[in-house]
Amino acid sequence: MERIAVLPERERGVCCPPTIRLRPEKVAGTSEILKALADPTRLQMAIALRDAKEPLCICDFTATFDLSQPTVSHHMAKLKEAGLVEVTKRGIWSFYRLAPDLPAAGRRILEAIS
Amino acid sequence: MERIAVLPERERGVCCPPTIRLRPEKVAGTSEILKALADPTRLQMAIALRDAKEPLCICDFTATFDLSQPTVSHHMAKLKEAGLVEVTKRGIWSFYRLAPDLPAAGRRILEAIS
DNA sequence: GCAACGCATTGACGATTGTCAATGGGTATG
DNA sequence: CATACCCATTGACAATCGTCAATGCGTTGC
């Protein structure tokens, strides 16, 4: 990612379409992950799960954020749909943790955010 | 980001709200960056700019994607609003490049995606 | 059995988003 | 001046999103 200094010389009517190296499925998957993390609440939830020593439940986040329980549940479902999060039920609780089989793209993004 | 093995013991009515270490402004800024990258078209545009040896103009992307020029222009404006992209006008062209003063968060995220 | 708890789902609402057609402004060429 | 090119802005539209109230379901404790 080095600095680009000069502007290219261009001729009228001639464009330089960049070649897209990424496969469409890869683009879709990555943008799904990004979309899941692009909401402030979900971003904080994901970071909390990333940094947590133990799995967390919905009620933990309901206590943290000023949001209703259905809303928190809805956000967590989005993280799960994106493959970022995994759930284990025990008793009346649903424990959430970061997906252990997180794809490399997701892992790198999660490590990049702060 | 090590594996979490065991589930915590919980008591009814007692939750364990995670402590949010991130400042609210930081959360807002990062989620703005993520939101800007969360669209498939903008994701590909950002990656193209990241990997390009020279700045690119709007018409380059209009040729690449099957989208109207206003739409491409609109997407580029979103990347610019998020501080990811910088524009230099010369003649009839507007040349876009990755922002040289990209905040660390943005740079790490951009390097993480693929 | 019954009440309380934790959670997911549904339905509804305003807000935001992605897209295009239409338009206008600036710049080069003839 | 007139035309062609590149680009940004506006207005409009359907689609999606974030949120909550209401509801239902499974589990635990009395």
Q: Once rounded to an integer, what is the mean pLDDT over residues B95-112?
A: 94
Strand D contact with A68 (CB < 7 A): yes
Q: What is the pLDDT of residue A99?
A: 97
Q: What is the pLDDT of residue A12?
A: 96
Please check the confidence at residue A46 and state whether its pLDDT lies above 60.
Answer: yes
Q: What is the CA radius of gyration of chain A?
A: 19
Token pair listed for A63:
């206590």
Q: How far is the CA of B43 from the C1' of D14 (A)?
A: 23
The owner of tokens 């020593």 is A53
How many CB atoms within 10 Å of residue A83?
16
Average pLDDT of chain B, as a whole number:
94
Tally of CA atoms within 13 A in the half-sphere of B17 that contains its CB: 11
**Nearest in space to A39 (alpha carbons), one of A7, A54, A61:** A61
Q: What is the pLDDT of residue B15?
A: 97
Please check the confidence at residue A2 and state whether its pLDDT lies above 70.
Answer: no
Q: What is the CA radius of gyration of chain B?
A: 19
Nearest nt to A93, CA vs C1'?
C6
- Cα separation of A19 and A32, whole Å? 22
- Cα separation of A35 and A33, whole Å? 5
What are the beta bridge partners of residue B94?
Answer: B89
Q: What is the pLDDT of residue A103?
A: 86
Q: How far is the CA of A33 from the C1' of C12 (A)?
A: 28
Please check the confidence at residue B2 and state whether its pLDDT lies above 70.
Answer: no
Question: What tens digit of pLDDT does each residue of B66-103 get?
Answer: 999 999 999 999 999 999 999 999 999 999 999 999 98
Ordered strands of the A93-98 beta sheet: A56-57, A93-98, A85-90
Contact positions of strand C to protein Cβ (< 7 A): 5-11, 17-23, 26-29
**Backbone phi, then psi, for A113, in 5-degree steps?**
-75, 155
Strands (E) across chain B are located at 56-57, 85-90, 93-98
Please check the confidence at residue B3 and state whether its pLDDT lies above 60.
Answer: no
Distances in Å between the Cα of A10 and the Cα atoms of A15, B16, B56, B73 are 8, 60, 10, 19
Question: What tens digit of pLDDT does each residue of A54-111 get?
Answer: 999 999 999 999 999 999 999 999 999 999 999 999 999 999 999 999 989 899 999 9
Q: Which domains occur in chain A, in start order? A: 25-112 (1.10.10.10)
Token pair listed for B63:
């040729």
Q: What is the pLDDT of residue A5?
A: 61
Choose, out of B2, B6, B9, B10, the residue to mutate when testing the contact with A (most A CBs < 10 Å). B10
Strands (E) across chain A are located at 56-57, 85-90, 93-98
Please check the confidence at residue B4 and state whether its pLDDT lies above 90.
Answer: no
- Cα separation of A60 and A72, whole Å? 10
Q: Once rounded to an integer, what is the mean pLDDT over residues A3-7?
A: 69
Question: pLDDT-derived band of residue B8, with 50, 70 and 90 as boundaries?
Answer: very high
Structural contact between residues B64 and A17, judged by C-beta atoms closer than 8 angstroms:
yes
How many CB atoms within 10 Å of residue B58?
20
Q: What is the pLDDT of residue A62?
A: 97
- Cα separation of B38 and B75, whole Å? 11
